[in-house]
Structure formats: C-alpha cells, structure tokens
Amino acid sequence: MAACGGPGNPRAAAGPSTVLAYIIRRLFAVVVMLLVITLVTFGIFFLIPKWVGVDPATYFIGKQADPASLEGIRKKMGLDDPILVQFGKFLWGLVAGRDYANGTDVTHCSAPCFGYSFRNEQAIWPVLTDRLPVTMQLAAGACVIWVVVGVGTGVVSALKRGSALDRTLMTVALAGVSLPIYFTGMIALAVVVYGLGWIDGQYVPFGESASGWFGGMLLPWVTLAFLYAAMYARMTRATMLEIMGEDYIRTARAKGLREPVVIGKHAMRSTMTPVLTILGMDLGALVGGAILTETTFSLPGIGQAAVKAISDKDFPLILGVTLIAAVAVVVANLLVDLLYAVVDPRVRLS
Amino acid sequence: MTDLPIQKSGTGADSAPNEPVAGKAKPTAFLEVRDLKVHFPTDDGLVKSVDGLSFQLEKGKTLGIVGESGSGKSVTSLAIMGLHRAGQYGRSKARMSGEIWLEGRELISADPDEVRRLRGKDVAMIFQDPLSAMHPYFTVGAQIVEAYRVHHDVSKAVARKRAIEMLDRVGIPQPDKRVDDYPHQFSGGMRQRAMIAMALSNNPDLLIADEPTTALDVTVQAQILDLIRDLQKEFGSAVIIITHDLGVVAELADDILVMYGGRCVERGPADKVFYEPQHPYTWGLLGSMPRLDRERTERLNPVKGSPPSLINVPSGCAFHPRCPYAELTGGASTTVVPELSEVGSRHHAACHLSAADRERIWTEEIAPKL
Ligand SMILES: Nc1ncnc2c1ncn2[C@@H]1O[C@H](COP(=O)(O)OP(=O)(O)OP(=O)(O)O)[C@@H](O)[C@H]1O
Ligand code: SF4
Ligand SMILES: [Mg+2]
C-alpha cells in the first residue's frame, strides 16, 4: 500500500499491492506445478519398466550388459529404492548435487543435478545448458516473427475485409495452418539453401559469427513462425472484425478521433488481449514445433537432444529434457499471465 | 388538461418542425434534416432504415424522437453524427441521401474529415449502454481526456483538470479519485454520468442522447434525465433525446417526433403530441405507456402486431397491417403513402383519416381508456 503513495480511492490504491499478491500467488502455483510435473514424469519412468517387465538398469548401460554390471548400476542409481526415496534423492540432487556411489565407485554430479547419463558418461545439466540457448534463440526469434507478421496480416486483412488482398492473405494463412513444419521446412531448405544457394544452412553460434548465426537461424525461424503466423493471422482477423463492431469503437469515432487512432489505439488494445492468451498456450506447444524444426535443420537444441535421447533410450536425458521443457512452458505461461494482468485492468483489479 | 408538467426552456424563435423548404437553400434553423434516407444493401435486400425524414431543431431546444425498436431512431442519430460513413466493419455500407444542415453546413455532401472534426465538438452523443460504450481497458479519465484533446490543443494535465471538473459537474463523488477508475469500477448510473461528462466536455451545440436510460435502474433513470435537463439549461445546447417512452419526452422535450418504419408519422409541440395526438400509432404508444398521473382503469395496451419489414415495406401506410382504423379510409391506407399534413398549429401527422374521424376516435375510444 505504501508504494502507491498518499491516500486515495481505496479501490484504485489497491492496484499495485493487488498485482504483487497476484504475482506471489502465481509463483507459488508455479512451484507446486513443477513439483507435480517432476513427480509425474519421474513416476512414469519408474513405473513403465515394471509394466513392460524390463530391468530399469538396462536403460542406463544397455541390454547386453552382464548381470554384474547391471547389479552395479542398480546399486549406484538406487534403483531398488521405493519411488519416493528415489524422488527425494533426485530433488535433493537438483538443489545440492549428488554422488552416485557403489562402494568405491563414485560418480559426482554437481548441482543442479538433473541426472547422469551413464551411456555418455556425462551429467545431464551441461547437455541441457549447452542446447537450451539454441532452442531459446529459435523460439524467441520465431515468436517475434510470428506475432509481428501474424497480427499485422490479421489486422490488414480485417480492415480490407472481402478485398482481393484479404482473400490472398487468408488463402496463404490457410495453407500455413494446414502444412506440416517438416514439409514447409524441407521446401525452404531445398529452395533457399540447396537450390539458390543464398545462405549456408549450417548452425553457427552467435559468438563465432553473427551473420553466420543469422543465416543459419533464418530458415528455422521462418519455418517455425510460418505455422503460427498463419494461425495468428486468422485469429487476429476474426478478433479484429468482432472488436470493430463494438460500441466503444463507435464511441471512439463519435469523439472525432481519426480512423488510424481508432484502429491503432482502441481496437488494437483489445485485440492484444486474446493474442496474449493464445501466446501463453502456444509457447508451451512450441516444444513440439521446436523438435521438428531442430531435426529438419540439424540445430543442436533441446528438441534434437530429445529425439536422440529417445532413440538411444537414454533415460536420464529424456527425464532432463522433459523437465526443462516443463519449466520452460510454465515460466512462459507465467510471464504471459503477468503481462495479461498488466494489459487487462479487469484481471488485475478483480 | 395539462396535468403533467411540460418543461419549456424559453420561447425563442419558432422551432416548429415545419415542412422542409424544397431545394438546397440554406436553412435558418440550427439543425435541419431534409428528406433523409439511409438505406443498407444486405443479402436479403435493401433495408430502408430511414426513408424520407425531415425535421428542424433550434438551439437550446429539445427534440424527443420516439418509436418502437427498429423504427430507425439510432440510424438517424448516427447519420447526423456522420458515423455511417466512418465505415462499420462487418456491416454493409449505408446509402444516404437528403440533407443534414447544421449551422449552415450541409453534412451529407461534406468532406468526411470535416465532419469528423465536428464530431465530438459541435455534435456529441451518448449511447444506450454506457458499459459497452466505454473502452474497458482505459480509465474513465483517460477516455474523457482523449475526447477533450481531440479538439483542444492542451496538455494532458490541463485536460485532466477538465475531466475532473466535468465529472464533478455530472455528480460523480470524489471526482479527483474516481477519474483514475476503470469503467467496470463504476456503477451503471455513474457510467452514464461519465459518458455525459465526456460528451459535454467540448461544450457541443447539439447533444444526441440515444436511449440514455434504457440500460439503467428506474430510480437512476430519473436522475440521469434530470441531469440532462439541468445541463442543457446550463450549456444551452440543443438536445435530441431518443426513447421508446413517450412519457419521458413529454416531460423533457419541446417537440416530439414519432417514427414508424423509418418515417415520421407525427410531429409537433410536445404537449400537442402528448395530449392531442392525431396518429393511430401515437395512440397505440400512449396506450402502452404506464401513467403515474392517473389511476389505471384498464390493462396496458401495447401496439399489437410486429414492426414492419424495412425491406418489403407494407404498401400505402406502413402501419396499415396493425392499424384498427385502416378500413375507415376507403382503401387509401393500403394503396397511398400518407404524407405529413398540418393537423394543428406546428402539428403534423401522416394519416388518411379525416379530421372528423380522428376527433371522434380520440375523444370516444382512446382518451377515455388512458
Ligand atoms: N448497418 C446496417 N446494416 C443493415 N441494417 C441496419 C444497419 N443498421 C441498422 N440497420 C437496421 O435498420 C433498422 C433501424 O435500426 P435502428 O437501430 O435505427 O432502430 P432503433 O429505432 O434505434 O431501435 P431500438 O429502439 O431498438 O434502438 C433496424 O431494422 C436495423 O436492423
Ligand atoms: S393511414 Fe390508415 S393505416 Fe395508416 S394510420 Fe392512418 S388510418 Fe391507420
Ligand atoms: Mg436504437
């Protein structure tokens, strides 16, 4: 309350502190949600081997291993412990790191320990931190492109409703939502990289060469963004058409405002709210799109690691990727929710 | 006969809704609408929402427009605001003809940007539902500030002072605090007060109130109407007040215009139209009105039947399918469109009934039941 300064209308003064309470509530919910996700993921990987009758130890060192080494890994990983004990150790490892020990054979995994891949003789966390930036660059770049292009297209289409431009844009958008990523991605690769040779399709880290990085990321961005841009264009157009018929748009005109202000300020302000809502959900679903895009363009990101981990049956890596993806989704949703509270006073003040 | 108080703000010039002068001669009235037609092409056909409407209004006077739902009241007011041309996305574009003269300027043929500059400044409007008419994401103050700054080159601080002053004037308590509230934090009555504050912030010469109380509680309705009346006296604006309720305009208006199917069926001084109505449709409206000034002897008597199609308008008099007296006109009601004709001093009605028939029906059949 002190933050808002001075006495005021109690309802208006409640603003900032309500926002803070809201953020704290949400953060608490996020922590609980992450715990549940971890437990469920953990449970699945714990239970599946039992159901299908496979020794979980083989997930760590392979089926061909001799019984002695299997027994060793079982001991080292604590695979015979009850699930809650294993879960507790895992959580503790996240916070403080842990040692996988079988007598004198000790493998250290420093915090945050997301597990250890005995297949590849490496801790999971460094693998994730290595790859996460690539995926985040892919997602962030694509997100910017699709929001700008999608919303822009939708607005133009709505304002030019029924025109040839509107029909063309909406046909492209329909194609966009119908075509799978690997199809548009492959075509883009074939045309731009192999056919025209405009850019080199290889991933280059930003630190090595900014232009090389941009060239390498451009196609993945555009390919991933295309699908979403198309969906956003259709959604924005529909929302915009609805909002242009609202009474408060008529009021804005009745004030004598110029049409660009009516659209750019009054209509856009309302259009952004549903766009944000959908964005929160899509950032979660983006994981699937990222896997496909990274595979198509050989980007060394989380998605590619996930595909590789699954084909290798590298249990700890799958668990790590699942968790990091869950964290990303939850955090993205949190950010969007907070943004939503800023944008919509009715959410903030109720 | 006059057992209801009729508010009059001075006598002034003759504000009669006279027959329009033919041709494009510049009128002397403050607002003059001549043969206004607003048609909407739709998939089902041409919707003739307003079809040949004429009236006049002087500065400082109040015109009440009454008529049931769909009779073209809102379309008329939006036409005066120039809002049909501003483009209504998702709705068909209006075809307009006729003349709308405001202080010697003709608005239908005027440059759209010129009309835009008049909007909100010379002509302001308040709407039926103040909740949906205000933007949910901007504070009440910001919306009034915006309305003021469109037409006044002042700083935000100055405009904010003006907004607080206007909120105070329309009776919002603690206006310097409430100015920062969002519309959903206001009650319905307060929202409509805020809309009035917004509309009057630029001191318009003409205020159009399109069913300003329909969405409000009965007790609040009277307060809002009182407010409009007080403010009109203070600001000296001309007011067009649109309503379903003849009782409201009888109290508030100098003149009344009764619309049916996009046309004017009766118009004249408020007390004439209210106490000596000459058109069968006006009789029906009176019959459907709850009246507090006398004991109700019979049940409310709403106009039977449904409003006319505006695409296939009934032949002759558009009211004839619902009119109990259509047979008395020797077939004229179903074949000839009745024109407005003088039925008293400054009082016009569009009906084929003879003066004797009207007089007889009113005194023998209608008046005793009211
Ligand atoms: N843009 C448009 N396109 C097609 N028809 C329209 C349009 N605007 C209004 N109309 C039609 O014109 C007729 C008159 O509408 P209007 O809103 O003026 O009625 P009203 O007298 O204000 O009624 P109410 O009392 O319900 O507000 C209605 O039948 C309506 O459907
Ligand atoms: S012209 Fe005929 S139908 Fe129309 S109101 Fe008069 S009597 Fe009724
Ligand atoms: Mg209306």
For chain A, which residues make up each domain, given as ranges?
17-123, 124-348
Whether A160 contacts chain B with CB within 8 A: no
Percent of chain A residues past pLDDT 90, beyond the cut: 16
Distance of CA A133 to the CA centre of its chain: 12
Q: Do B315 and B201 lie in a common domain? A: no
Q: Look at residue A204 and tell me whether its pLDDT is greater than 50.
A: yes
Of A54-63, B112-121, B200-209, minimum mean pLDDT range: A54-63
Torsion of CA B333, B335, B338, B343, to 10 degrees: -40
Q: Which residues of A touch B177 (CB under 8 A)?
A: 8-9, 12
- Residue A311 pLDDT level (bands cut at 50, 70, 90): confident
- DSSP letter at A300 equals -
Q: Do B210 and B62 lie in a common domain? A: yes
Interchain contact, A12 vs B146, CB within 8 Å: no
B117 falls within a domain: yes
pLDDT value of position B106: 95
Q: Look at residue B292 and tell me whether its pLDDT is greater than 70.
A: no
Ligand closest to Cα of B75 equals 1
- With a 6 Å cutoff on the Cβ, whether B253 touches ligand 2 is no
Q: Do B149 and B70 lie in a common domain? A: yes
What CATH superfamily is the domain A124-348? MetI-like (1.10.3720.10)
CA dist A217 to A209, A293, B335, Å? 12, 11, 76
Which of B120, B151, B180 lies nearest to residue A254, judging by beta carbons?
B120
Q: Do B304 and B221 lie in a common domain? A: no
Q: Which residue has the CA at smallest separation from atom 7 of ligand 2?
A: B326
Q: Look at residue A166 and tell me whether its pLDDT is greater than 60.
A: yes
- With a 6 Å cutoff on the Cβ, whether B353 touches ligand 2 is yes
Interchain contact, A247 vs B86, CB within 8 Å: no
B333: exposed, middle or buried (Cβ count in 10 Å: 0-12, 13-18, 19+): buried
Contacts of A276 (CB under 8 A, 6+ apart): A336, A339, A340, A343
Q: Look at residue B117 and tell me whether its pLDDT is greater than 80.
A: yes
pLDDT value of position B169: 92
Number of domains in chain B: 2
3-class secondary structure, A106: strand
B116 falls within a domain: yes
Cβ atoms within 10 A of the Cβ of A209, count?
12
Contacts of A187 (CB under 8 A, 6+ apart): none
- With a 6 Å cutoff on the Cβ, whether B77 touches ligand 1 is no
Contact B17, B267 (CB under 8 A): yes
- With a 6 Å cutoff on the Cβ, whether B88 touches ligand 1 is yes
Mean pLDDT of B311-332: 94
Q: Do B283 and B208 lie in a common domain? A: no
- With a 6 Å cutoff on the Cβ, whether B186 touches ligand 2 is no
Interchain contact, B81 vs A8, CB within 8 Å: no
Q: Which comes out higher in pLDDT, residue A99 or A194? A: A99
Establish whether the linkage from the previous residue to A112 is cis, with ω within 30° of 0: yes
Q: Which helix (H) or strand (E) holds A32?
A: helix A10-52
Q: Do B64 and B128 lie in a common domain? A: yes
Q: Look at residue B298 and tell me whether its pLDDT is greater than 90.
A: no
User: Which CATH number belongs to the domain containing residue B97 in this structure?
Assistant: 3.40.50.300
Longest dimension (CA), chain A: 85
| Residue range(s) defining the domain that contains residue B318 | 278-291+299-369
Of A11-25, B132-146, B158-172, B240-254, minimum mean pLDDT range: A11-25
Cα Rg of chain A, angstroms: 25
What's the CA gap between B65 and B209, in Å, rounded? Answer: 10
Hey, of A251, A262, A263, A340, which one would you mutate to test binding to chain B, going by the most B CBs within 10 A of its CB?
A251
- Distance of CA B249 from the midpoint of ligand 1 (Å): 21
pLDDT value of position A222: 84
- Residue A349 pLDDT level (bands cut at 50, 70, 90): low
B125 falls within a domain: yes
Q: Do B326 and B242 lie in a common domain? A: no
pLDDT value of position B338: 96
Q: Do B338 and B287 lie in a common domain? A: yes
Q: Which helix (H) or strand (E) holds B166?
A: helix B156-169
pLDDT value of position A152: 93
pLDDT value of position B20: 45
Which of A161, A254, A345 lies nearest to residue B81, judging by beta carbons?
A254
Q: Look at residue B86 and tell me whether its pLDDT is greater than 60.
A: no
Q: Do B166 and B32 lie in a common domain? A: yes
Ligand closest to Cα of B86 equals 1
Pairing type for strands B45-57 and B341-344 reads: unpaired
- With a 6 Å cutoff on the Cβ, whether B329 touches ligand 2 is yes
Whether A238 contacts chain B with CB within 8 A: no
Mean pLDDT of B65-87: 88
Q: Do B243 and B320 lie in a common domain? A: no
3-class secondary structure, A130: helix
Contacts of B276 (CB under 8 A, 6+ apart): B344, B347, B362
Q: Look at residue A265 and tell me whether its pLDDT is greater than 80.
A: yes
Q: Which residue has the CA at smallest separation from atom 3 of ligand 2?
A: B320
Q: Which atom of ligand 2 is nearest to the CA of B317?
A: 4
pLDDT value of position B124: 96
pLDDT value of position A261: 94
Q: Do B59 and B157 lie in a common domain? A: yes
Which of B78, B119, B135 lies nearest to residue A248, judging by beta carbons?
B135
Q: Do B234 and B287 lie in a common domain? A: no
Strand partners, A286: none
- With a 6 Å cutoff on the Cβ, whether B92 touches ligand 1 is yes
Distance of CA A83 to the CA centre of its chain: 29
Q: Look at residue B127 and tell me whether its pLDDT is greater than 70.
A: yes
- DSSP letter at A125 equals H
Whether A8 contacts chain B with CB within 8 A: yes
B141 falls within a domain: yes
B14 falls within a domain: no
Q: Which long-range contacts (CB under 8 A, 24 or more apart) does A54-58 make?
A: A56/A315
pLDDT value of position B92: 56
Q: Which comes out higher in pLDDT, residue B349 or A335? A: B349
pLDDT value of position A8: 37
Residue B336 in tokens: 């000839």
Residue A78 in tokens: 């604590």
- Distance of CA A50 from the midpoint of ligand 1 (Å): 69
